[in-house]
Amino acid sequence: MLVHELSAAECAAVLRRTHIGRLACARAGQPYVVPVSFAFDEEHGCVYSISSVGQKIDWMRQNPLVCLEVDEIADTGQWQTVLAFGMYEELDNDPGHAEARQRAHERFEVRKEWWFPAVAKLPTREERHAVVVYRIRIDRLTGRRAGSA
């Protein structure tokens, strides 16, 4: 098995094909990683997502530096993984975010209902009413792939 670096274009191609990744954030020196659904906006260099307010949102509000990990795995010897390092930004109802919210909505509509788990009620917790649309502005992409060639 050989491992190769992915180019920026190859990293973007993986982000275009996928919509589930693991989002890493940190607070007070403690890392936290959770699965998220996302939509990639290659033209604007970001990914969009949606979430109910909870630990992930609280932590990203305190420390907006995050990392999204995405992979495509055929088997243990054939895989690709991409890391997108960037900055968390909430897309609230401020007029300055209107265009970005529209782009996010258009991308969300491509895969209807993919976001339902992000806002679902947890059976052992109080219902969460606050929903946050956010983007990760990608500063740097890196990736690797393994295969026979």
| Arithmetic mean of pLDDT, 34-50 | 95
CATH number at residue 104: 2.30.110.10
pLDDT of residue 7 exceeding 80, the answer is yes
How many domains, the chain? 1
Distance CA 97, CA 89 (A): 10
Q: pLDDT per residue over 92-104, tens digit each?
A: 988 999 999 999 9
Q: Which domain holds residue 94?
A: 2-147
Q: pLDDT per residue over 76-88, tens digit each?
A: 889 999 999 999 9
